[in-house]
Amino acid sequence: MDLQVQARGDGSAPQDHARYEYASVLARGQTDAKLLLDFKRVSAFSYSDIHILRDLLKPFTAHVTTPHILAETSNFVDQAPQYKRAQLIGELRRYIDTVAELYRPAQMLAQRGEFAALGLTDTGIAELSSGVVVLTTDYHLSGKIDALGGHALNFNHSRSRALAG
C-alpha cells in the first residue's frame, strides 16, 4: 500500500503515511468488500483489515500524499472490473479531496542514495519519513526508512496484535 499520511491530533508523532494500497483497500472495501479478493496487490488483505486500518488511523487528523502515489493508485484502480470502476474513481476523488499533496521533483529524488534500491515512489516516501510516520506492509521499505533514521510502522505488526488480542 502506498501513501496516506496523517498528523496526529495529540501531537505525539510527526505524521502518518500509508502506502497507496491502503487507500485502495479502503476504497475497495467501502465500494465492495468482495473486490479485495479480486486484485493481486490487495489480495493479502481481508475485510477485518479495513477495520484495523481505520482504528489505526483514528488518532490522526490530516492525510498527506504525493503525486507519485496518486498516479500509482489511479493506475491500480484502472485494473478494477468495469462495472465497479466508476464507483472506485469516485472514492479516489473523495480521497484526493481530503489529503494534502506533497511534491518532491523526480529529479531530486533520483539523486538520493536509496533511489536504486527503492525506485521513485518509495524513495519519495522514504524522503518524507523524517517528518512523517510511514504506515506500510513493505518490510523492505520500512527497514530502509528505519536505517535512514525515519519513522515507519509496519501494518502487519498491527494486524498481528489485533488478531492476537
pLDDT digits over 57-71, tens only? 888 777 788 899 888
Q: For 114, which DSSP code?
A: T
Domains in the chain, CATH or no CATH each? 5-164 (3.40.50.1010)
Does 72 score more than 60 pLDDT? yes
Q: Give pLDDT tens digits for 12-21.
A: 333 333 444 4
Helix (H) or strand (E) holding 65: strand 60-65
> CA-based angle 62:125:73, to the nearest 5?
75
Q: Give pLDDT tens digits for 30-61.
A: 556 666 556 666 667 777 887 888 888 888 77
CA distance 34 to 63: 26
